[in-house]
Structure 1
């Protein structure tokens, strides 16, 4: 009997299947090109900031071809029943606070570069955002980042202390109750069809929450029963790609994030930038990448202790990203990318396929709501450059080949990131996602 295959080729292959992994409500788009507005729509909304004019930001988003945005709807603040109603109507946004010698903590740290200094009615502004989305033909993915970082941007700790006081095992139930109130109010305003789907929380595996199996399943089922017209789920920052069978069957959307750190992880480990409390920080390797004239850790200090409690980002990250020489950072990544290129490409592909096939097995729509390389300093341009864009396009094409419903162009492609200026690339990717190529 002759051999049917070459040694080393798989006995079972997973063919690309571009048909949808699961059905979506008829009123929603057949594909979602997602722009990650996250919590920045209210933390970067001061005069002259990217979200000061919500309608203008929405128009720019549509101009780049997006038909979906993903946001922190701050449900515990605006609808949590936690005695925060007055704060939700008049929240003072401070960011991480003023730093010694001028400037503010997080000033060159992506997502944390919020100078603050203004007050905002978060609840009213949320409904303004939904109205703007409807006018522009955009659907909105609702999530919460509240157990990951959102309250850290407030000027005082009331929001954080209120949600932190909720026992760990009750947090999913409280989130579901908050979203129930919020979705009810959204429906009363005639905006229910603007919602693409609702996530109890962003990246449950990287937040101050128990596992979904510890209360999340019941909360998702309860919220789905209360709002049967809505898709309800939770999202994962790093789904268990090698053991997807362990995921909860309660997830109504397979919303997973696909980051392939590769060379970035090699650099982060080398300079020990993601840890906290490391003796002798910064090490020699990090010092070699800092800007000339960077203050010492002692001179720079750190944000208020409660702010660091309220976020998963460490003081070492804030110091390092605020004072890194972005050109030196990028140069190191480019110099070493070749050692990681094939693994990063394969990792993106294998993770996207794992997510899509799990979703197809469960009969639910798949979404890649964040990706593709990882967390970089605000002024670093590796992910925005030719290498990062090629990795993103690879992930997008694999996702489309395997029937993924919604996909982000890049986590860094949003009004509050420097990559926003590369409108042409975003238009090309959104046309690809929406089938206009």
Structure 2
């Protein structure tokens, strides 16, 4: 009896754990990333997580991280842009932080909305603090991923709308160019200060597919190649919030790092659709399903009001999202997710695995390092614990292990694992997961 011939698999039979592409020799062999985003300057007031950068960095290292990913606010600190006859550089030296502003019912908008829980009430020199952050990171043995969230939400946290107005005046076709020119100035100054080796890589912008930017092929490729030519020792790229996992060949070959995000919304998406929380202008909002999840003392949508119109222009989230997340009963939210998770468990696990592998294989094909800079479930209320709990942690570990098995260079333990999130308190879990990452080199 002979074995039947069943064909030759198109993909390798086993994962390839070697890195998908070369990295500069001075950088860590694996990156355990904490997502500091823009919060290092929007949550830097008295008593806030980033008031003291040295302390925040020490806590980060204690949890096993060796990399942080930030919004460097390049257009604000080095864009050379002007509005109302004034240079943004001057505003950067004394930027008022306000958050989304005072709510009409008391408190402030975004106070229970993850990433937007910014009370503000102080001013900060963002430019000098950026260089202080890089110097502090280097001293602690941490490398920094430079990015920009400016065409997604960063300016909405300011108490002065000139930042947003200045960058909004830049024609769509020129936005990648001005981002590259701003990063060029920042990198040149870091090089002159002896800090360039603390930069892991630079991405022109975070999640270009979910930001007020044209496709990368429309100006982004030229900007990436220009910035790389100016700083040949630096890796340069742009990131995607949801890369085309079923058609990765559509991605630009100019990307110097495959820095993509892997969120498997699954049960979370089912809930969000049910309560229509991510839309805007919905007649009759909030619907009955959302009202059933609100806190007993929640004001009506009309009573709660909304942030200043320019702040909503400056961010990709909506007034319905702000109201919903601010007024939800977090326990009721979590209970619904746990009650329905079983229906989505297998597809969420498979989705995380297949997306990570697609990213890694594309990166290996292009010969560039791969990074999962954000993941794993999705956007949850500030005090929701589904992603921080046993289910979310298991999904995260599945993503991290899959990434390491397939040669991904850098990976987050979880997007919610940073000083400004409640999950930061779970130091034991973060140390364990990050040990997997740094021990895989």
TM-score by length of 1: 0.98
Judged with a 3 Å threshold, the aligned counterparts in structure 2 of structure 1 residues 10 and 328 are, in CA distance, closer, same or farther, namely farther
Shift of 1:3: 3.0
Shift of 1:156: 1.8
Residues in 2 aligned to 1:97 and 1:393: alpha-carbon distance in whole angstroms: 37
1:197 aligned to 186, 201, 224, which one? 201
SS in structure 2 of the partner of residue 338 of structure 1: helix
1:3 aligns with 2:8: no
Shift of 1:423: 0.1
1:293 aligned to 288, 297, 314, which one? 297
1:350 aligns with 2:354: yes
SS in structure 1 of the partner of residue 114 of structure 2: coil
> How many pairs are equivalent?
435
Question: Residue in 1 aligned with 2:39?
Answer: 40
SS in structure 2 of the partner of residue 239 of structure 1: coil
Question: Residue in 2 aligned with 1:125?
Answer: 129
1:417 aligns with 2:421: yes
Shift of 1:86: 1.0
Question: Residue in 2 aligned with 1:59?
Answer: 58
1:326 aligned to 324, 330, 334, which one? 330
Report 1:254-403 matches (<5 A). Answer: 254-403=258-407
Report 1:223-262 matches (<5 A). Answer: 223-262=227-266
Residues in 2 aligned to 1:261 and 1:329: alpha-carbon distance in whole angstroms: 14
SS in structure 2 of the partner of residue 124 of structure 1: helix
Shift of 1:11: 6.7
2:293·2:333 contact (CA, 8 Å) conserved in 1? yes
Residues in 2 aligned to 1:261 and 1:366: alpha-carbon distance in whole angstroms: 22
Shift of 1:138: 0.2
Shift of 1:100: 1.5
1:73 aligns with 2:77: no
TM-score by length of 2: 0.97
Residues in 1 aligned to 2:375 and 2:6: alpha-carbon distance in whole angstroms: 35
Shift of 1:4: 4.7
SS in structure 1 of the partner of residue 187 of structure 2: helix
Q: Deviations over 1:359-398 (max 9, x none)?
A: 0000000000000000000000000000000000000000
Q: Deviations over 1:283-336 (max 9, x none)?
A: 000000000010001100000000000000100000000000000000000000
2:97 aligned to 57, 77, 93, which one? 93
1:181 aligns with 2:206: no
Residues in 2 aligned to 1:149 and 1:423: alpha-carbon distance in whole angstroms: 28
Residues in 1 aligned to 2:216 and 2:195: alpha-carbon distance in whole angstroms: 28
Q: Deviations over 1:7-45 (max 9, x none)?
A: xx9675552000010000000000000000000000000
Judged with a 3 Å threshold, the aligned counterparts in structure 2 of structure 1 residues 25 and 42 are, in CA distance, closer, same or farther, namely same
Shift of 1:419: 0.1
Q: Deviations over 1:113-152 (max 9, x none)?
A: 0000000000000111011101100000000000000000
1:29 aligns with 2:33: no
Residues in 1 aligned to 2:277 and 2:71: alpha-carbon distance in whole angstroms: 26
